[in-house]
Amino acid sequence: MSVTTLPPPSPLPWLGGTLAGLLVWAALYSQLVPFSEWAVSLLPVDPASHLGQAITFFLYDTPKVLLLLTLVVFAMGVVRSFFSPERTRALLAGRREGVGNAMAASLGIVTPFCSCSAVPLFIGFVSAGVPLGVTFSFLIAAPMVNEVALGLLFAMLGWKVALTYLVLGLGIAIVAGWVIGKLRLESWLEPWVLKIHAGTAELPDVIVTWPDRIRAGLDSVKEIVGRVWYWIVAGIAMGALIHGYAPEELLASIMGKDAWWSVPAAVIVGVPMYSNAAGIIPVVDALLGKGAALGTVLAFMMSVIALSLPEMIILRKVLSVKLIAVFVGVVASGILVVGFLFNLLFA
């Protein structure tokens, strides 16, 4: 009896569906600003008020981060169908780890994400088996050092400040990620991430068709987005409230004092806040105009966009409390060094 072998399914419907989905994604992403402004205009709230700014921020950032999370996780799921986590780790581990930190931090410079927007990429990197320290280098650099921050600093404060900030910020991302990687803290990831990281949630090694690859991406979206979306909404809601009601005058009075404790005080004040580089640099300009020291203000800015409390809330779904504490401690130490150094160099 002969056995009839059926031909593999055509990839065209799957590829066409994926292309259509990407076009819908792009259309939705392009309308985030008009949508948030339109939605606020329907409410009995002054858009320029504290409440109006908080609501606008929430209505813009929530769909933005969720859209980014969906796209990145889908893409990483497809990539994982080509490369196993073990192979990816082998390419970036050992003596290449330092190079991986530098590459990840450099990639972060050209991705203008705020801290919460960088978290989806962090999850994607971890799930793909990229070493933990390398993923942290990206997570630190992506919000803290990007072309928006550098361009605004250059326009407002000159090329010396912008270049110094670039070198020191990149150095913090590389060194902090390298240190965290050397501590070998992968076991401090949350159990569900460890399962993905170890490859137990992998598809079979032999995946040869595009329909299978696309299914892998969709499965990743279902598994990962389904686990973290409510943490993202909660984190952005807190960030929106802080963003709308932060007392700028109080911040200026603290950071304007010429005392050794002004830099750590600025970091402590900045961590509970949440903004991207474009949003916080105008505040930096205002604080400098009120007499705050440059290093103190930059330490504040770096803590806002690299160590925000909403980011910690979102990361809690992925990292243990101990690992978050190590991350905050290492990055905060680097930020303190930058703050004191800037105050010394640009007194």
Tell me, what's the pLDDT at 26?
93
- Residue 311 in contact with residue 115, Cβ under 8 Å? yes
What's the rounded Cα separation, in Å, for the pair 125 and 101?
13
Highest mean pLDDT among 29-43, 103-117, 298-312: 29-43
What's the rounded Cα separation, in Å, for the pair 281 and 301?
7
Residue linked to tokens 């705020």: 114
- The tens digit of pLDDT for each residue in 29-52 reads 999 889 988 998 898 988 888 888
On whether the pTM is more than 0.95, the answer is no
Instruction: Kindly state whether residue 135 falls inside one of the protein's structural domains.
Output: yes
Instruction: Kindly state whether residue 171 falls inside one of the protein's structural domains.
Output: yes
Tell me, what's the pLDDT at 200?
45
Instruction: Kindly state whether residue 19 falls inside one of the protein's structural domains.
Output: no
Angle at 112 between CA 110 and CA 116, to 5 degrees: 130
Rounded to 5 degrees, φ, ψ at 345 are -80, -35
Instruction: Kindly state whether residue 15 falls inside one of the protein's structural domains.
Output: no
Run of H or E including 114: none
Q: Between 277 and 162, whose confidence is greater? A: 162
Contacting residues for 111 by C-beta, under 8 A, at least 6 apart: 118, 121, 142, 146
What's the rounded Cα separation, in Å, for the pair 176 and 98?
11
* Rounded average pLDDT over 99-117: 71
Instruction: Kindly state whether residue 212 falls inside one of the protein's structural domains.
Output: yes
Tell me, what's the pLDDT at 93?
46
The total domain count for the chain is 1
Q: Which residues of 286-312 are buried (b: 16+ CB within 10 A; e: fewer)?
A: ebbeeebbbbbbbbbbbbbbbbbbbbb
Q: Structural domain of residue 153, as residue ranges?
A: 45-345
Alpha-carbon torsion (316, 322, 327, 332), positive or negative = positive
- Three-state DSSP state, 319: strand
Tell me, what's the pLDDT at 85?
47
- The tens digit of pLDDT for each residue in 60-93 reads 888 887 887 788 778 877 876 775 545 544 554 4
Type of residue at 20 = A
What's the rounded Cα separation, in Å, for the pair 107 and 167?
14
Q: Which two tokens stand for residue 55?
A: 């609501």
Angle at 341 between CA 336 and CA 343, to 5 degrees: 100
Run of H or E including 183: none
What's the rounded Cα separation, in Å, for the pair 36 and 243?
16
Angle at 149 between CA 143 and CA 152, to 5 degrees: 165
Instruction: Kindly state whether residue 164 falls inside one of the protein's structural domains.
Output: yes
Q: Which two tokens stand for residue 345?
A: 């160099």
- Three-state DSSP state, 131: coil
- Residue 144 in contact with residue 180, Cβ under 8 Å? no
Tell me, what's the pLDDT at 88?
46
Tell me, what's the pLDDT at 203?
42
Query: What does the mean pLDDT of the chain come to?
Result: 76
- Residue 313 in contact with residue 234, Cβ under 8 Å? yes
What's the rounded Cα separation, in Å, for the pair 166 and 172?
10
Q: Look at residue 236 and tell me whether its pLDDT is greater than 60.
A: yes
Instruction: Kindly state whether residue 3 falls inside one of the protein's structural domains.
Output: no
Tell me, what's the pLDDT at 24?
95
- Residue 296 in contact with residue 257, Cβ under 8 Å? no
Angle at 36 between CA 30 and CA 41, to 5 degrees: 135
Closest of 81, 70, 59, 174 to residue 121, by C-alpha: 70
Instruction: Kindly state whether residue 294 falls inside one of the protein's structural domains.
Output: yes
Closest of 276, 222, 279 to residue 69, by C-alpha: 222
Q: Look at residue 342 and tell me whether its pLDDT is greater than 70.
A: yes
Tell me, what's the pLDDT at 94?
46
* Rounded average pLDDT over 113-140: 71
